Amino acid sequence: MATPSHTTPFEPLSSDSLTPWLSISQPILQWWMEQSVKGVQPLINVQLAWLESVSSAMQMEIEFCQAIAESNEKISHCLLINQSSPKSVQEITDCYQQAMQGLRNAQYDRFNKVTKLSQDFRKVLWEEI
């Protein structure tokens, strides 16, 4: 990111307006202010990368919660459809296993995405350092 062309170095504070302890430490304060300005952009970039990572993690959790809801819907549908006729244990077991397979796949996808997210965040972090 380009720095503005009107940027100028910090001007020293006038020593007559400073308290004695501040005037003594003025060179250190001056150095700290210069370093702060130089170091702000990488810090902002790291914070943005972190916020993007958190946003992606939240999106993945929402997708997983949706998969949980769909699995519960499948199980409920299996148990509630044709309530008047009794269901065999095998039918209920098959229905449950299908719902759990979908949930298992969603969990596997979730782990893969989280691993990739962690690697992407580390890459961005190292680029800024």
pLDDT tens per residue, range 15-29:
555 566 666 677 776
CB of 30 closer than 8 Å to CB of 10: yes
- Sorted by where each begins, the domain ranges of the chain are 40-128
Q: How does DSSP assign 15-27, residue by residue? A: GGGS-HHHHHTHH
CB of 121 closer than 8 Å to CB of 53: yes
User: What would the pLDDT profile of 32-91 be if each residue is shown by its tens digit?
Assistant: 677 666 666 677 777 888 888 888 889 999 999 999 999 999 888 888 876 666 678 888
Give the pLDDT score at 70. Answer: 92
User: What would the pLDDT profile of 87-114 be if each residue is shown by its tens digit?
Assistant: 788 888 888 898 899 999 999 999 898 8
Give the pLDDT score at 2. Answer: 46
Global pTM reads 0.59
CB of 86 closer than 8 Å to CB of 65: no
